[in-house]
Amino acid sequence: MNPTRVSTIASAIFVMISSVVLPAKAADVAAGKKTFTTICAACHKLADYNAKSATELQTALKGIVAGKVKHEKKLTLSDSDIDNVVAYIKAPPTK
Ligand code: HEC
């Protein structure tokens, strides 16, 4: 079997496995990037969040949206917006 075919089969298997193992709606990194660049980038750089885990970011953002965590700007984000922006912050695509 040639290498291209092997990797095609490997990706197909990966897709099958991940669709079973991962939650039905995976975070959308591209949508997260859009949110980040349109809203957050005015004040934040990605590197600002290096010290925070994805869970800490989720918690902080939920708190900000709910008005429980002080933040310079009021943020209006849905739960999936939060998932997406956190996914982007933690794993920005390398162009
Ligand atoms: C108007 C400026 C501004 C905008 C826009 C903004 N932030 Fe912030 N944010 C701040 C400042 C100032 C702080 C406090 C200092 C710091 O931690 O950098 C902060 C803090 C935070 C924190 C840490 C909160 C904590 O106490 O744990 C998170 C997480 C965060 N911002 C996420 C975001 C995200 C995601 C967006 C876009 C959806 C965003 N911010 C948009 C100014 C802004």
Q: Which pLDDT value is given to residue 3? A: 65
Residues within 6 Å of ligand 1 by CB: 35, 39-40, 42-44, 48, 57, 60-61, 69, 71-73, 75, 85
Q: Which pLDDT value is given to residue 38? A: 97
- Binned at pLDDT 50, 70 and 90, residue 6 comes out as low
Residue nearest atom 1 of ligand 1, based on CA coordinates: 73
Quick: pLDDT tens for 33-66: 999 999 999 999 999 999 999 999 999 999 999 9
Dist CA 57 CA 20 (whole Å):
26
Quick: pLDDT tens for 13-26: 565 555 555 555 68
* Residue 36 C-beta-side C-alpha neighbours within 13 Å: 24
Q: Is the full-model pTM beyond 0.85?
A: no
